[in-house]
Structure 1
Amino acid sequence: MSRNIRFEKFVPAHASAVAGWTQTVHESSMWSGRAEHPFREETVLSWRQDPDSQAHILSVSGTAAAYGELWLDSGNREAEVARIIVSPAARGQGLGVHLVHHLTALAEEAGYPGIYMRVPPGNSAALRCYTKAGFRPVDEESAASWNRSQPVEYVWLRHEPAHAATLAFTL
């Protein structure tokens, strides 16, 4: 059975569903850096205030199933893929990889050659997903430099299109 998957701009009507996808304080913290559970709809909506941030969802058969953001740094021509989360009912189906592919393609089409991600330490599921989507760790010197001003020592990744897995979906 095949399902219709669509990449769409996030709209406020999606906020309640997205806020409900975290299941624990730990999961909220890994996703957003906030130790907040249940996660608040207002928090998700507040992220839209940054003009350099673009939020998107993947919908499956008309239902929001994954959320992610693209943060654009026009001065450095760099983008960061961020806040990726998949609804609990849709996990394990490759939707996270699918969403990351869409977000990186959007950044590339907009002329951002450097595309990065940061992953909290210990988030092995996220690291597997992003590796399948073509991300690889940055060099140790860059990671150390970028982590100096961060609250945790993130694993920093850079998109390398030659390493992206080919997607074949029959959902």
Structure 2
Amino acid sequence: MSVREVREFNRFYTNLIGALDYSRHLHTPYTLTEARVLYELAHARGTDAADLRAVLSLDAGHLSRMLAKFEEQQLVTRGPSAQDARRQRIELTSQGRQAAALLEERSQEAVGTLLDAVPPQDRPRLAEAMGTVRRILRDGEADRAGRSPAGRRVVLRGPRPGDLGWAVERNAAVYAAEFGWDEEYEALVARIVADYAADHDAEREAMWVAELDGQRAGCVFCVRDEAPGTARLRLLLVDPAARGHGLGRRLVEKCISFARSAGYEHLVLWTNDVLADARRIYERAGFTLVAEEPHRSFGKELNGQDWHLAL
């Protein structure tokens, strides 16, 4: 493959989706970058400006000017983060949520129109090809070398003695520190881990530990759900000190790959909307939000979410 071929494809695809004239293409006043920022804010309540810069790879000055424009248009509010006053917390106003919803509706319509031209029998092949392109370009040389983008050694492995206890301790400690969750959450995690330890089918259920430079840094479980043909992703965790190295993505992809190879037809998970980083990983892995319900758990008022992935 040559550089010329990649550039030809880029020109073809950007023209196909109307990226060069996005506002006219979707009949909205927003550029493609502005629409993407609104999308991220709509799907990650209370996002920090630093998070947006990292997720979208935006220049700090460009993002700051864009947010100032949104604030002037009464689409967003800005203020110090409750967790760290040095960080700027960004939230959509009701008017901003309406704008994001309109963009979502028109984007769905545009993609639906695009897919209408694709014969049904060709759509699985198209989806597979898109997934292949995404995985190859995203993973790149870093994954093939078993290293994070920063060059640190990353390993995913099965559980060893002490890992189950570590999963309970780190889940409880991290969520207490970051979200103020009480011992009710630790008790829930302990029950999930104890059930897995006491009785799990090694052919259909698994746990993985992510190591960064030889140290435990994250984990995830894949267990059988009550619904037929369905697996459940549980207890995804990346230690705060190890974030930014793609561990969460790799753990989720490992879980998806295992569920497929084990013969499951669906993979589901339950999370809360305050876990913005995890939700972005799920969404990029292909999960779809199917239900939301407010609840009081772990000493906090939360909004629970159910996500689904067809395998």
Same-fold call, TM cutoff 0.5: yes
Q: Kindly provide the CA deviation profile for residues 14-40 of structure 1, in whole angstroms up to 9, marking residues without a partner as x.
A: 24543443335375887x993449x99
State the 1:137 CA deviation: 1.1
More strand by share: 1
Q: How many residues align?
A: 151
Do structure 1's residue 18 and structure 2's residue 167 form an aligned pair? Answer: yes
Indicate the residue corresponding to 1:123 in structure 2: 275
Indicate the residue corresponding to 1:82 in structure 2: 234
Q: Kindly provide the CA deviation profile for residues 108-139 of structure 1, in whole angstroms up to 9, marking residues without a partner as x.
A: 0111120111112422222112112221112x
Indicate the residue corresponding to 1:7 in structure 2: 156
State the 1:44 CA deviation: 7.5
Indicate the residue corresponding to 2:263 in structure 1: 111
- Verify the 8 A CA contact 1:28 1:35 in the aligned structure 2: no
1:16-165 matches, cutoff 5 A: 16-21=165-170, 22-25=173-176, 27=178, 34-36=184-186, 46=194, 47-51=196-200, 53-73=205-225, 76-138=228-290, 143=291, 154-159=304-309
- AA at the equivalent of 2:283: T
- AA at the equivalent of 1:13: G
Which structure has more relative contact order (CA 8 Å, sep 6+)? It is: 1
- Verify the 8 A CA contact 2:222 2:234 in the aligned structure 1: yes
Runs of 4+ in 1 over 3 A off after TM superposition: 15-20, 26-30, 32-37, 42-45
- Name structure 2 gaps, 5 residues minimum: 1-149
Structure-2 change in CA distance of 1:26 and 1:80 (3 Å): farther
CA distance in 2, matches of 1:49, 1:114: 24
Structure-2 change in CA distance of 1:2 and 1:153 (3 Å): closer
Percent identity reads 22
Aligned partner of residue 154 in structure 1, secondary structure: strand
RMSD: 3.6
CA distance in 2, matches of 1:82, 1:48: 14
Structure-2 change in CA distance of 1:50 and 1:25 (3 Å): farther
CA distance in 2, matches of 1:34, 1:134: 30
Indicate the residue corresponding to 1:165 in structure 2: none
Higher gyration radius (CA): 2
More helix by share: 2
State the 1:61 CA deviation: 2.7
Structure-2 change in CA distance of 1:134 and 1:74 (3 Å): same
Aligned partner of residue 67 in structure 1, secondary structure: strand
